[in-house]
Amino acid sequence: MEKDRSLQPPPPHVLVFPFPLQGHINSMIKLAELLALAGFKLTFLNSHYNHERLVKFNNIAAHFERYQGFEFKTITDGLPLDHPRSGNWFLDMYEEALEMKMKPGFAIDVAKELEIPIIYFRTSSPCSFWVYYSIPDIIQAGELPIKGSEDMNRLLTTVPGMETYLRCRDLPSFCRETDIEDSIIKLYVKQTQKSSQADALILNTAEELDGPILSQIRTKCPRVYAIGPLHAQLNTRLKAKHGESYDHFSNTLWEVDKSCIFWLDKQPNRSVIYVSFGSITSTSREQLVELWYGLLNSKTKFLLVVRPNSVIGKDGEGEDVVVELMEKSKDQGYIVNWAPQEAVLNRPAVGGFFTHNGWNSTLESIVAGVPMICWPYFADQQVNSRVVSEVWKIGLDMKDICDKKIVEKMVKDVMVDQKEEFVQSAAEMAKVTNQSVNVGGSSYSNLDHLIEDIRIMSL
């Protein structure tokens, strides 16, 4: 008997509202598309500035028109459209929020007031979520603040599940401040702890990757959906629907230089190290030159990403150095402003990833089976690099050092001397992670549960 359509409940309507940074938009838009694939109505709320860039650099209309009821809406991020938003503008934004006594986790209050179910999606790593959650305990136990540089290698005892490897050095960068009480860290901690008031929590990871930490998080937030890596999950589901050659929407906020793919494809297998530090970090001129010498002296071919305006130098001379380096490294390296990173990591020529360990980059490297050299800058990156090197053992951690000799040694270790063991451990990690997003895998099933639970919540 045919079902009476008028009796079926309308599809749930989900509003997705990312923090206005590339890494957050990346994973949030993928989540939105996964929910749209399940037949949900979606509203993606972006800042004017980021939406303009999404439209400029991607064929956004053509991609999303296939989903009935998928719409983009925009709001201001509080800055004029021509503001460069380079450097640490987002930290300034946080500081301002703090000064204005903006309530961390305000979205929860709004949702509660409107009686709408709310699910938190923390786009950073579960290990950093757990560390932020535990910071009040670390302070109470007297393990923070850090007492100078000689104290940095001290092991912390108050983050359950991480007692054997978490050092002061591996705490989120904001913990390095001496005046903890007055620090931005308080905002992060409040925001994190408030997550337990949401109806559920989504994390971009797989049970196989972060099982022990997920068990800890579940003691505070019982309803956790580990549905990642999202880019891999989306690829699986899109390919099942549209065929093997189908790729997900790139959602980049910069113009992608695809010429590096042609260059890569001329290089031997696993011979190139890909070097990129994400969408927010800035390097000093000195750091970039040190890094570049290290790469050059390692005699390894490299593909280096230097975003426009990301090199800080005196009297505006930061950017000139890039042209100079390009000229000098013609035979060994290739430099671009912005790369198609996921595609790059999956090219056979790439044998290592010199990364800042933003969570998206880390997951993309894991899924592609590429070992890492970790050079974290701030926020969750410090703890991510520790987990990559000490727990998963799929890379080396160069944290807090930028010395051409160390760069050279690490590149040689990953690309030559310890190549076999790193290739093997990264391949094993890639295998279990990719299995998790296939039909019957943990992340695949967890997403099915999430979809079902949202349907029930919205009745």
Pick the piece of the chain touching ligand UDP (CB under 6 A) from 37-45, 56-64, 353-361, 410-418: 353-361
The type of residue at 263 is W
Write down the least CB distance from residue 367 to ligand UDP, Å: 11
What are the residues facing 226 on neighbouring strands?
Answer: 203
User: 23, 105, 126, 371: which one contacts ligand UDP (CB under 6 A)?
Assistant: 23
Q: Are strands 70-75 and 41-47 parallel, antiparallel or unpaired?
A: parallel
> Is residue 288 within the footprint of ligand UDP (CB under 6 A)?
no
> Is residue 22 within the footprint of ligand UDP (CB under 6 A)?
yes
Size of the site for ligand UDP (CB under 6 A): 19
Could you write out the DSSP letters of every residue in 173-211?
GGGG-S-GGGSTHHHHHHHHHHGGGSSEEEESS-HHHHH
Residue among 20 and 104 whose Cβ is closer to ligand UDP: 20
User: 14, 25, 26, 162: which one contacts ligand UDP (CB under 6 A)?
Assistant: 26
> Cα 306–310–313 angle (5° rounding)?
115
Using Cβ positions, the residue closest to ligand UDP within the complex turns out to be 358
Residue 147 backbone class (left: φ over 0; alpha: ψ -120 to 50; beta: rest): beta
> Is residue 387 within the footprint of ligand UDP (CB under 6 A)?
no
Residue among 93 and 139 whose Cβ is closer to ligand UDP: 93
C-alpha dihedral over 384, 386, 390, 394, to 10 degrees? Answer: 50
Beta carbons within 8 Å of 257's beta carbon, 6+ residues apart: 336, 337, 338, 339
User: 191, 236, 276, 433: which one contacts ligand UDP (CB under 6 A)?
Assistant: 276
Return the H-helix or E-strand segment holding 350: strand 350-355
Q: Which two tokens stand for residue 184?
A: 């931005």
| Site map 81..120 versus ligand UDP, x via CB under 6 A | ----------------------------------------
User: 77, 342, 397, 413: which one contacts ligand UDP (CB under 6 A)?
Assistant: 342
Place of tokens 């109505």: 41
CA 228 to chain CA centroid, Å, is: 12
User: 360, 382, 434, 446: which one contacts ligand UDP (CB under 6 A)?
Assistant: 360
Reference 173, options 383, 398, 401, 8; nearest CA is 383
> Is residue 395 within the footprint of ligand UDP (CB under 6 A)?
no
> Is residue 235 within the footprint of ligand UDP (CB under 6 A)?
no
> Is residue 361 within the footprint of ligand UDP (CB under 6 A)?
yes
Binding site for ligand UDP (CB under 6 A): 21-23, 26, 252, 276, 278-280, 305, 338-339, 341-342, 358-361, 364
